[in-house]
Amino acid sequence: MVNSSQIPYFILTAYLDMGYLNLLVNELYGSAGLFPFLLLQIPSDSHTISRSMCFLQIYCIYTYVNVEFCSLAVMSYDRYLAICCPLHYKARLTSNKVALLIALVWLCSFIEFLITLCLNLRLKLCGKVMERLYCQNYYVTKLACSDTTVNNIYGLFGTFLTVFVPLIPILFSYTKILRVCVGGSKETRQKAVSTCSPHIASLINFSFGCCFEIFQSRFNMSGVPRIVRIVLSLYFLMIQPLFNPIIYGLRLSKIRQMCRNVVVCNK
């Protein structure tokens, strides 16, 4: 822990460039799991998907969600080190450690949902109709006429790994940051807000889309207009890739200046 006077005005953390690139690659990966197939289905009168393609789509979308949430968790720890321990930042989070963390996030996500994929492949599906724009693991198990006990248990375990495990570093990091802000000066709070606001905005945006999709899958949402349910079901796959480049890009002085020039020219 250091005094607020030791916190630099603008912190260029080691995770920034690699972290943003990681989010970009993951969002391209998640979008590729849905939109190419969706575009092929829109002009078609028969909206069907093969069993293998359905399972592949589940794998892509679920690994995308897990990588995104885990990456945001690592970025929260990066913010904690940058604000609370700036003098020790480079020693604690080197470029090699950042690359290792990113590799672990992807590897663990692929392994976690590879198990889900293997469990799905053993299911005997009797139902054929899934009233969704894309395949979901929960609805696949509902179509099965074989025993899904193992799938349901591992599904709960996977939800715990995907949601609650990343929440630990997020809550830890922002609790420490909040303590520094409360005990610091106004300038300290402004610096912390400048450093953390893009990450918090991205985290809230992504969490909102995922939470709505979970609620829509588990509870009766018939009271919500159908078009609203369709748009919100695609929210975390559609808005997050559009939102992140804007929110993180505005941190760069050149992009901010270009935006000012556009506004001035329009006037």
For the stretch 94-134, pLDDT in tens is: 888 888 999 999 999 999 999 999 998 888 888 777 777 78
Q: pTM of the predicted model, to two decimals?
A: 0.83
Stretch among 19-28, 69-78, 160-169 having the lowest mean pLDDT: 19-28
Q: Which residue has the tokens 């575009």?
A: 39
Predicted confidence at residue 110, as pLDDT, reads 94
Tally of CB atoms within 10 A around 13: 20
- What is the per-residue pLDDT across 179-222, written as a single tens digit (0 to 9) for each? 888 877 777 777 788 778 888 888 898 888 888 887 777 777 77
Using CA atoms, how far apart are residues 180 and 124, in angstroms rounded to an integer?
55
Q: pLDDT-derived band of residue 42, with 50, 70 and 90 as boundaries?
A: confident
Secondary structure (DSSP) of 202-252:
HHHHHHHHHHHHHHHHHS--TTS-HHHHHHHHTHHHHHHHHHHHHHHHTTS
Domains delineated in the chain:
9-266 (1.20.1070.10)
